[in-house]
Structure 1
Amino acid sequence: MKTILYARVSTGDQTIAHQEAQAAAVGFVVDEVVADDGVSGLSTCLRERPQGRRLFDLLRRGDVLVVRWVDRLGRNYADVCDTLREMMRRGVVVRTVIHRLTFDGATADPMQQAVRDALIGFMAATAQAQAEAMREAQKAGIAQARARSDVYRGRKPSFSRAQYEAVRSALVEGRGISAIAVATGLSRQTVYRIRDNAAEAEAALARWA
């Protein structure tokens, strides 16, 4: 039996090294890292990614698949649900770094199965909703930037694209403002501004790109 960390990085998202460090920090001893870099989790299913296909070939019954959060598997509701259920059918245990959740097919109790499946559905839906909200915020930000670019660029944002997306992801995951500020290196006030007006934060990034 082995433990495999799957990491996925899309443009401006967390680095693979960061995801490895997070897993190690909470006690995971990883035998192998499989990673896709620059791949969208919304438009590209896990099986269609170069290393995602390899992941399915590597995993065997009794192995543990570690992911930072289910959004690393994907941001498409149906794909994430199908992936988690396929892993459980294969006898693979899926564990998340954030909140230390465990998904396996060991239980035969129908009530426990129902709770587990409901949680899978909720998290998969949250991952897709987050991705769509970020995409809409980006569109709105670009539109605002274009409308104002000929007039005034405003103050340069105190956060990078990677920090912005890290904050948005952490907020959806339910992490506290102080914890997010520490993890991203931003002030609490900046995290609040991003939370309260994501479109304007996106617009500021677009204006200063």
Structure 2
Amino acid sequence: MKTVLYARVSTKDQTAAHQLTQAQGAGFAIDEVVSDEGVSGVTTRLADRPQGRRLFDILREGDTLLVRWVDRLGRDYEDVSDNIRHFMRRGVVVRTIINGMVFDGATQDPMQRAVRDALIGFMAALSQAQAEATKEARRAGIAYAKANDTDGAKFKGRKPSYSRQQLEQVQAMLSAGISVTEISRAISVSRQSVIRIRTDPASSVAALERWGL
């Protein structure tokens, strides 16, 4: 039995190494890291990603598939929920670093299975909603930055104290109902920055765009 960390990174400030460090910091012992880099999570199905496809070949009954959040496992609600159920049917336990979610197919109790399946559906829908919100915030941020570009000379303002990856992590954790204080502590972003991202995601993205981050 082994624990495989699947890391999907799509921007230049995201790295598989960072996600590995985050997993180890949460107490997970990782046997293997499978990483897709430069792959969009909102346009490419898990089975269509070069390394995502490997997961279907290497994972066996009793193994654990670890991901930062369930959105790593597909491009939309249907893809995420189908993949989680596929791995559970094969006896693979799916776990998340954020919020410590656990999905497995061990239980045979109908009520427990119903609750588990409802939770899978909710998490998958939440991931898709967050992906759509992130895309919209990015579009709004770019528009905001362009609208405030006077004669091509951008006033950048204060450099953001968070990276694009941290912004995405904050948004995902806020969607999961995690408190501002817990988010700040977990990913080393100030409470003020977390509150700013929650209150005005468009300008938070715009700040990254102005600084080319």
Normalized against structure 1, the TM-score is what?
0.91
1:191 aligns to what? 194
Match status 1:157 vs 2:163:
no
1:132 aligns to what? 132
Residue in structure 2 matching 1:171, options 154, 161, 174: 174
2:146 aligns to what? 146
Describe the shift of the 1:50–1:182 C-alpha distance in structure 2 as closer, same or farther (beyond 3 A).
same
What is the CA–CA distance in structure 1 between the aligned matches of 2:136 and 2:165, rounded to whole Å? 17
Higher mean C-alpha deviation, range 26-35 or range 55-64: 26-35
Match status 1:82 vs 2:82:
yes
User: Displacement of 1:18 after TM fit?
Assistant: 2.0
User: Displacement of 1:14 after TM fit?
Assistant: 4.0
Q: Check the 8 A contact 1:14/1:166 in 2, yes or no.
A: no
What is the CA–CA distance in structure 2 between the aligned matches of 1:135 and 1:33, rounded to whole Å? 27
Look up the equivalent residue of 1:72 and give its one-letter code.
R
Q: Check the 8 A contact 1:71/1:127 in 2, yes or no.
A: yes
What is the CA–CA distance in structure 2 between the aligned matches of 1:176 and 1:121, rounded to whole Å? 22
Match status 1:6 vs 2:9:
no
Structure 1 segments unaligned to the other structure (5+ residues): none
What is the CA–CA distance in structure 1 between the aligned matches of 2:54 and 2:180, rounded to whole Å? 37
User: Displacement of 1:69 after TM fit?
Assistant: 1.6
Describe the shift of the 1:12–1:130 C-alpha distance in structure 2 as closer, same or farther (beyond 3 A).
farther
User: Displacement of 1:9 after TM fit?
Assistant: 1.1
Q: Check the 8 A contact 1:94/1:103 in 2, yes or no.
A: yes
Describe the shift of the 1:3–1:48 C-alpha distance in structure 2 as closer, same or farther (beyond 3 A).
same
User: Displacement of 1:79 after TM fit?
Assistant: 0.3
Identity of aligned residues (%): 60
Q: Check the 8 A contact 1:3/1:30 in 2, yes or no.
A: yes
Runs of 4+ residues over 6 Å off in structure 1: none
The count of aligned residue pairs is: 209
Q: Check the 8 A contact 2:98/2:173 in 1, yes or no.
A: no
1:37 aligns to what? 37
Structure 2 segments unaligned to the other structure (5+ residues): none
Describe the shift of the 1:163–1:12 C-alpha distance in structure 2 as closer, same or farther (beyond 3 A).
farther
> Aligned-residue CA RMSD in angstroms?
1.9
User: Displacement of 1:193 after TM fit?
Assistant: 1.2
Look up the equivalent residue of 1:44 and give its one-letter code.
T
What is the CA–CA distance in structure 2 between the aligned matches of 1:25 and 1:184, rounded to whole Å? 11
User: Displacement of 1:104 after TM fit?
Assistant: 1.4
Describe the shift of the 1:25–1:185 C-alpha distance in structure 2 as closer, same or farther (beyond 3 A).
closer
Cα deviation digits, residues 141-164 of structure 1 (max 9, x gap): 111221221266252332333332
SS of 1:50 mapped into structure 2: coil
